[in-house]
Chain A
Amino acid sequence: MSRLSISSLNQVETVLDGIYKYMDQHLTFNPTDTCPIDICAAFLRLYMTQSCGKCTPCRVGLRQLSFMLEKVLNNEAEMEDLTRIEHLARHISVSADCAIGAEAAKMILKGVTGFREEYISHIRHGICLAERTDSVPCVANCPAHINIPGYVALVGEGRYADAVKLIIHDNPLPAVCALICEHPCETRCRRTLLDAPVNIRGLKRTAIDNAEGVQNSSPMDHTGKKIAVVGGGPSGLTVACYLQKMGHQVTIYEKHKRLGGMLVYGIPAYRLPRNYLQIDIDQILSLGIEVKLNTEVGSGDLSIANLRRQYDAVYVSIGAHQAKNMGIEGEDSKGVLSAVDYLGRLGDDETVDFTGRKVLVVGGGNVAMDCARSAVRCNADSVTIVYRRRREDMTALPEEIEGAIAEGVNLLALHAPVKIEAENGEVRALWARPNMVGKITGSRMKPSPTGTPDIRIDCDIIIKAIGQEMDPKPFADSDIPLSHGLISASDWTSIESIPGVFAGGDCVTGPKTAIMAIGAGKVAAANIDEYLGYHHVIPLEVEVPDVVLKDREYCARVDMNERAPSERRHDFDLMEIAMSNKEACQEAGRCLRCDHYNCGIIKGGRQEW
């Protein structure tokens, strides 16, 4: 008999390990329309399996808690049971011997306070408030509610032009979204339950790259109504496209010399080449929309009030183009740029040359990554991102951070800028204070100084990318209600106090994604049409292929490649390489067709709008 032995996985543990991984995918999939009490009850069962069984509150208490939740879910509970649940959970949280019982009970307590109405609704009325919105998860999660299973199936059949037509029904910027959409559709793709989400954006790119002869359907009969759209970014272009299709006459007022908003002035060309954006803009403008470039709305003839008088409705979508300041000494020195200025100059095709310069980028979001990676392409000597939290706290997408590092960008995390040192008004260095990690409040870690001396970082250019806000100037003399520097508009994009004026996109939400701005534009188009007394329905012109009857086999996701960092860092050409048509066909075949299976089929499928 040996005294000690090496522990190794037995058969049961190996299988369980696989199941754990599988369940991890289930949790990632996490549909939003699930009853939160049901979820907590399920998690509680998981905690119960982990109880070591020693102490009373955990071993017995969690079971009793579980019975109580079942009672609620079965419409058998009374209000007193809610008090009992709360009391027992609190009891377990303070009296269990270890973290297992205590954390389980805290989870239940969080729910009892966090979604108390849900409990009350179950108990009093036997009604679960979880709204069934997720029957087709990708469609529900897409702000523009594009018929995703439809176009995925069309790409699978090689009907690329039809796929693009189907996308355009809900989103007039398919080429843009094929490259830069943050694809919220993929986050809840039900395919995740099997292996990994379908590469939806990649398939859209395949559709765009292969589609030939897609024509925007011609506008409906003229209504004689005129609409002004202030700001020609994704939201403004969307509203303009659909309202023009509905037979109204739209005029876009754009301050810059190009249409596209942040698509051109915020997103570097290596992610979204101008010719892609141009495909969408040409399609949209072909409908007969009037465009006034280099025209800033805000005063005189072009005040919001005047536009309201001249037009039957006004849509405000000016975005959020004003940089936030760091509020530190030396910020106005020469060589300190805002991300908006820098990316804006690139958007206007200005040549920016950083040869021989050391560039610092302050911030941890996607814009900071865009700036850093663009700076590399402007031939900077070195590019360093300074961020006051950790890399894992950055809001930028992980692949953006990785991409930047691969291109040679340095990361200086846990350093907070405190001062800019200048000489003759020109930047020489950034002083940064070392931070240490701290407690977690909410979901974010709060850093604090380590107490060690500030460090000096030698540099010639500092690009601040710490956030953007809306420029309130255009509304100085208007009645447009502002709150926290943004326009206060309803969920249906109207401004309640000024009938006929609508707003959406970044100027309402703060800086968000293109697809959210597009979604707002679509909502606004429908509601402006309704406001004008119409109910135009955009017809669906493409028939979606039937499902193919096949077994659900596990199959890995096709990811797209990028040009090698050593090559792409020298130019602004498109970085991403599209999947091959063969890959696209396989990838499209991974779609589980939730529009057909599950309850996607029940209530008549997709609605026209």
Chain B
Amino acid sequence: MVNIRINGQPFAVEDNTSILEAVTHAGIKIPTLCYMKDLNQIGACRMCLVEIEGRDQLFASCDNVCTEGLSIITDSARVLDARRTNLELLLSQHKVECPSCARNENCRLRTIAAELGIRNLENFRPDYMTKEWDPLSPIIRDETKCIRCYRCVAECEKVQTCNVWDMVGSGSHTSVGVAGHENLKNSNCVYCGQCVTHCPTGALSVRYDIDKVIGIHGALADPEKITVVQIAPAVRSAWGEEFGLSSEIATEKRLAAALRKLGFDYVFDTNFSADLTIMEEGTEFLHRMQHREQYQWPMFTSCCPGWVRFLKKQYPDMTSQLSTAKSPQQMFGAVTKSYFASKIGVDPENITCISVMPCSAKKAELEIPNINDAKEGVLDVDISLTTREMCDIMKINQIDIAALEEEEFDSPLGSGTGAAVIFGSTGGVMEAALRTCYFVLTGTNPDADETFRAVRAAGSDRPWVEAEYEVAGIKVRAAVANSLGHARQLIEALRKGEVSYDFVEIMACPGGCVGGGGQPIHFDQERALDRSGIIYGYDSRNPLRFSHENPDVQALYADFLKEPLGKLSHHLLHTDHSGWDA
């Protein structure tokens, strides 16, 4: 313990406590901008400056630790003046376009300017840098808004271990750019969007595609088009945040009502294709287990396009270990433009399939050349919107969410079981698959709440969780990891032979899809765990807890696909991951 004083008051703190933590713990606020605990404590933005009694210099509180006798002053005139001047300097390099900025509602630069009472920008002349960027890239970087806090660099390096972003340029021209001066497309980027959700400004954003959906040129206004929308599991856990509504108000049924109000012809649910995924992927897993020697192990889940791209880029020799099952988004598109199109007697070309995803990588997934199988020359999924974009559309339409009555999703692609909704959280795909595998092997259902609880990785402080089950004499060793950094640790352990598993689920974003790059953004708050809780709530309240019990999925097999891994399934629902370059 060391003894310090904060604004004159004595405190004792643990050794190696940063000044910022000590002060915050004492209940005193210090503004921060570039700081991310344990990830980015670099003293760059100089918002957290404090005075140390007896020293002329001011010190950043985030990257300096308390030592015995330190007397910290957080609110002297000198400190307040220095913070405000630094903020004005940052603003001189930031193109202030708040009304039209992607982050107009949750920009940290804007809120900190309010906190520090910045009322004029006249002291310094505007001096923002510019840099061209491919407008079609799923991740968009706007140099004019970057304030060089390097949070994206830290998030990508330390959490995702992809090292896409780096400091580039020199001297006062220093900024952030793609490491090695690569084009983002050729870089390690997997489009997870974690840099976007950790950017304090609008410098990093996900490509904004709402004009493809709304407005006079949007799909909704096109009389030729039947619009079909699907909602990913994790979306329902977070969309209310954009409206300041609790999850009790912003329910999935109110979401269905809101989407219907927007004018979508069919409001469906990706939960349907999540159940379908389990039928295919679960069956595939059991098939692989029965033909063990023909495969490399473990089998990896393939729902997460960020993860698939990561594996293909970083460990291409393991590509064959990915389940060949498409992601629920893509299965949904393939079924919509085949089974559903024929059911309603419409040419697939006249259907616009729109997905709402918690994800930025889904925008790239739908463009994978060999992933579209319903009809030659037609995308299975046409447009992928993020949760944020969907909420923006609702705001544009001035929908009063809280005033809506709850409504059901449309049939037949609108039903989902509890096993499907947990796809939104880390461990959910694994648990859903195990629930159905158990049934296939034993003929009875396990206890949905308890049997496979050990694979629920949300909130775990270990890089991955593991569990071993014996079902009908078959031993299954399962592991679940979220975030690409953890995925890398798990893969390295597998490759070194330190661990071995049969089935591994990976989601690229911390906490799984609930923490996805397309979800609502809250500065310095990680909401994934709370959202996971909401997801498991939906599961436990659902009368159907097993994918094989989804009646619409059963009908799909009976009327159309015939059987999991059958010929038609193989054509529509599975893909060759080695057939394209990541």
Contact = CB atoms under 8 A, between A and B. Distances in A.
A551 B67 contact: no
A601 interface: yes
Interface string B55-93: 111010001110100100000000000000000000000
B171 A551 contact: no
Contacts of A74: 129-130
B146 to A, nearest CB: 13
B173 A73 contact: yes
A447 interface: no
Interface string A109-141: 000000000000100011111101000000000
B387 to A, nearest CB: 31
A35 B172 CA distance: 10
B221 interface: no
Contacts of A6: none
A549 B181 contact: no
A287 to B, nearest CB: 25
A551 B153 contact: no
Interface in B114-164: 129-132, 150, 153-154, 157-158
Contact of A549 (B70, B158, B168): B70
Contact of B42 (A34, A35, A602): A602
A35 B63 contact: no
A33 interface: yes
Contacts of A121: 181
A128 B44 CA distance: 21
A564 interface: no
A34 B170 CA distance: 6
Contacts of A35: 169-171, 173
A604 interface: yes
B43 interface: yes
A190 to B, nearest CB: 15
A601 B16 CA distance: 16
Nearest to B60: A597
B210 interface: no
Determine the interface band of chain B, counting residues with CB < 8 A from chain A.
20 to 34
A127 B177 contact: yes
Interface residues of A, number: 30
Most A CB within 10 A of own CB, among B64, B150, B153, B171: B171
A292 B153 CA distance: 50
A125 B169 CA distance: 12
A217 to B, nearest CB: 22
Given A549-B64, A601-B42, A603-B153, A128 B57 contact: no
B55 A128 contact: no
A38 interface: yes
B158 A604 contact: yes
Given A74-B129, A602-B150, A597 B43 contact: yes
Given A34-B170, A35-B169, A549 B52 contact: yes
Contacts of B471: none
Contacts of B129: 74-75
Contacts of B158: 604
A552 interface: yes
A294 B130 CA distance: 65
Most B CB within 10 A of own CB, among A38, A596, A603, A604: A603
B57 A551 contact: yes
Nearest to B178: A127
A546 B67 contact: yes
Contacts of A38: 170-173
Contacts of A125: 181
A377 B412 CA distance: 100
A444 interface: no
B157 A603 contact: yes
Contacts of A551: 55-57
Nearest to A134: B170
Given A34-B171, A602-B153, A552 B57 contact: yes
A438 B56 CA distance: 53
Contact of A546 (B65, B132, B167): B65
22 contacts: A33-B170, A34-B170, A35-B169, A35-B171, A35-B173, A38-B171, A38-B172, A74-B129, A76-B130, A127-B177, A129-B181, A132-B166, A132-B168, A546-B64, A546-B65, A546-B67, A549-B55, A549-B64, A551-B57, A601-B41, A602-B42, A602-B44
Interface of B: 16, 41-44, 52, 55-57, 59, 63-65, 67, 70, 129-132, 150, 153-154, 157-158, 166-173, 177, 181
